[in-house]
């Protein structure tokens, strides 16, 4: 999980998100994976729209839904970690304003489904970063090849 000083936001350059009926479908173009987010996972995703710290997102959602005990926060941590591990979020330098956009009034544990059945279709060089001079893909300075 990111430290207190780490901030993440939607990885818009390589991830598209579409919302239908309270469910998000995310597609990671570079990795060939796609995802279904439901219940509190929708709130987790929304909270990172402008840039946020993982621990603060967890706290905000727990406060919003009056989640107590160990189970709910642990589920939120796992959900956030999936978003980070699957590169659906990217690191940013600073947080943005909090998002006041909630999925419902009641707590439902985050549900994340990962689909990797189309990964074989990905043979292109993954897209990483974009800038105004080199287009994409652009390898980050000193970046690795993984």
Partner 1 sequence: MELTAPRAHAQVDPQAAGLCAAVLDLAEQASRTSAREHAFRLCDGLVTLRVAGGGFEAHLTRALRHAADAPGAVQAPALRVFAVDARAAGGRPPPAWPFPYANARHLERLHVSEDRCVYLRLDEDTRTWHVFDRARRRAAIWTEDASRLPDWEQSFPLRTLLNWLLAPSPATLAHAAVVCEGGRGLLLAGAGGSGKSTTTVACLEIGLETCGDDFVAVTGGDAPRAHALFDTIKLDERSLAYFPHLAAHAVAAGSGPGSKARIHLSELSPMRLCAGCSLTAIVVPRVAPGEPTRIAPLPKTAALRALVPSTVFLTRGAEIETTAKLGDLVRRLPTHELCIGGAPEEAARCLRALLARGSS
Query: Under the rule (CB under 8 A), what is the footprint of partner 1?
Result: 16, 18, 20-21, 23, 25, 27, 29, 32, 34, 36, 115, 117-118, 121-128, 130-139, 143, 145-146
Compute the least distance from the CB of residue 143 to partner 1, in Å: 8
- Residue closer to partner 1 (CB basis): 78 or 139: 139
CA dist 75 and 110 (Å) reads 7
Nearer to partner 1, 69 or 142 (CB): 142
The CA-based angle 50-56-59, given to 5 degrees, is 125
Closer residue to partner 1 (CB): 100 or 131: 131
d(CA 84, CA 11): 10
Cα–Cα dist 44/122, whole Å: 27
């Amino acid at each position: 999980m990111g430290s207190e000083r780490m901030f993440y936001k939607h990885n818009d350059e390589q991830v598209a998100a579409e919302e239908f009926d309270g469910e998000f479908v995310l597609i990671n173009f570079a990795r060939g994976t796609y995802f279904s987010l439901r219940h509190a996972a929708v709130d987790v995703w929304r909270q990172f729209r402008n840039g946020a710290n993982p621990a603060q997102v967890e706290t905000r959602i727990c406060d919003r839904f009056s989640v107590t005990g160990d189970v709910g926060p642990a589920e939120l941590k796992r959900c956030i970690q999936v978003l980070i591990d699957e590169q659906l979020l990217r690191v940013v330098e600073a947080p943005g304003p909090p998002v006041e956009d909630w999925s419902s009034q009641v707590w439902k544990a985050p549900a994340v489904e990962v689909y990797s059945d189309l990964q074989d279709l990905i043979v292109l060089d993954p897209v990483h970063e974009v800038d105004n001079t080199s287009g994409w893909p652009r390898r980050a300075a000193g970046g690795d090849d993984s």
